[in-house]
Structure 1
Amino acid sequence: MRILLVFKLFTPHKGGIESLLYNVAKGLGEQGHQVTVLTNRKPHATEDTPLFEHAGRNVQVIRLPTLWLPKNVDATPCLSKVFSTISRQDVIHVFGSLHSSLFLIALIFGKMRRKHIVWQPIYYFGAASSYGRSFSTFLGNKRKMASIKFYLKFCSAILALTDEEKAFFRSINSMQAYSIGEAVEMPPNVPFGEVHEVLRRFNLSAGKYVLSVGRVTWYKGHDLLIRAWKNIEEKYPDVKLVVVGRDWGYKSKLTLLTRQNRLDSVVFLGEVQSCDLNALYEGSLVVALTTRSEAFHRIALEAWSHKKPIVALDLGAATKHILPSNGVLVQKEDEAEVEAAIVKLLSDPEGAASLGKNGYETFRENYTLTVYARRLTNIYRQIVKMQTQVSGQEFP
């Protein structure tokens, strides 16, 4: 099957939608589909295709020359290129909900060419719980709802991350909608010697730290972890809190908070290479990310892929895959409860290991790239079959 994946600006491994798109492209390519990623180009962009080398020659990236207008609005003059690319596809899979001319052009041209259009919006108000601040303002209300209704007119189906998000879209339009979650790569086996070398470089010891992975910004909740860490440090002075992720302008506040609480065991590593991140996961005791809002808690999947338990805030739909058998959900944004959750695992290494093993089984059965790609393929085929029964046209 020929599948086109469309997103405003694909930056591999940046996180969020970009990570999901990368995983989808790689998984589908490895299943033998012909996958094209259509996205905009920024100045000095690098070639992306080698990123998909494990998928053979089944994945290509087309970056369109783009005029970037104020407020990061994209405008591509290459309409004929977009039209011809769309014309060659069986399924158009568009990602995201940010205003983008490429997003809208793909919908319009796809409809003109009578293509099967699948929209994976990723985040909409009402789809997940959040703490502390209103994220509905991110998407607006009446104006955004009007945009949703307009976009849905072009689509054959919706791919939602959760059952609640699926219900949200079905309440607007009775079209086909599927709850599909997310997926992450199966990590490579990292020899203990390599893990030890990476940890030595970061002045860490295996089994002596709690790992928190995510961009350093307010909503990821690192401040809550740091406030909870004060008492944890007193109880476990030889255990560190290791924060990994790109600084989005919030690290200075976290550093100040660390100094104010006189903490000596909080370490900020910034953004690290994927090979180092795998080693950091392998050497950790527990993975904790008390993010305040997510469409889907993907870091739980990464933790489980390394057989580590997860500690997270209960975000409703976004954390429904985290169960008492594979992690610990904190019911409210309270440092005392976060502290209790982490201490519970630190004080019971065997219990923590059991949660991690259960999490791995959950990941292996539901969230690997192979499982996700097969699930997507079945959905694509269902959509194609439903919409071509009258004509009797056959698709690969």
Structure 2
Amino acid sequence: MSDQYTETTSVSWFGRLRRSVGGIVFGLILLVGMVMLLFWNEGRAVTTARSLAEGAGIVSSVSADVVNQANEGKLVHVAGPVETQESLTDTAFGITTSGVRLRRNVEMYQWKETASSKTETKLGGGEETVTTYSYARDWSSVPISSAGFKQPDGHQNPPMNIESQSFQIGSAKLGAFDLQANVIGRIGGARDVPVGPDVINAVRVATGGNQPVSALDGRIYISYDPSRPRVGDYRIGYSLVPLGPISVIGEQQGTSFDAYQTVAGDKLLMVDTGIMPAEEMFADAVTGNTLLTWVLRIVGLVFLGVAFGLLLAPIGVVADVIPFLGRIVRMGTGLVAFALAALVGSITIAFAWFWYRPVLALIILIVGTGIFYGVSYLGKKREAQGGGEAAAEGG
């Protein structure tokens, strides 16, 4: 049994040209999609920023000990310990504990396929690609279908019969307030929980009683030898979001919380682990909004470059009749694609600013224009002075 499989494929120059022309359609779709993403992202950023500013200006911090009906429908900030009478139970494996959320994390030892390719352009514009498929065994939390492997023989994965699963309490209390799923589901802070030998019998029964079960390093192994696992063996661990203090910002609805609809457009329901003042929660949300805005901008610009690269790809393929000439042309089209992405992306973002933030955009435009003309004026003045001094020296 070989753990590598090599495949060599060839594409003619006409085949490459036809494929690159077909890529123009996808490039156009990607171009339109990224322009829409960049435009939408600026609007989303503005709406979220205004909503957070609105919320920060009207939120009231109230005690968790009593529900004041005067705050009904208002945006409130409440902090305190989470309490519940419910327990978390994984009935299949006999695990019972207290907390907010328990997760069973299941991994199976499986074959994985990785591929690496090396492409060489031939004289005349054709391409030859050598792809090497490598196979290795590793733990994976998702089932890997070996049916899609290039060489499935000798690399068969069994079905994954034990799955990961989450168990969450249905209700809890935050002082006098009731916590429902919309708040409970946002509570984070999960940590690994070690599992001991006391659950081995329950796991053995749950798996049919005919497989070896052991506990090692805080996890359950369904394996003959955990130190040398075989394909089809299982490794099971648990993580727990414990009961503890949380901070909530949301609309007071009766004795519970709901998302607050701002005038700016967003709904606000924020949950953080630990006791945090409202100011800090809003500051973190503002930082998160800024980070997301820049991430989406970068993603949009990168894929704009990909889109223009696809649109210009046929030029490089045509030049590939002489391979070294094709490399030079593709380098040039790559630079052009980058420049076009920067230009179109900047114009899209600028237009979005005029659309969503006209006053700020106008101020920036005026300041930018002033700086441009100021620098130009100083340059011309210095040039004129230099010319005058030269004339005086000549005289």
- Length-normalised TM-score, structure 1: 0.18
Higher radius of gyration, 1 or 2: 2
Which structure's relative contact order is higher, taking Cα pairs within 8 Å and 6+ residues apart?
2
TM-score by length of 2: 0.18
Please state which structure has a larger fraction of its residues in strand: 2
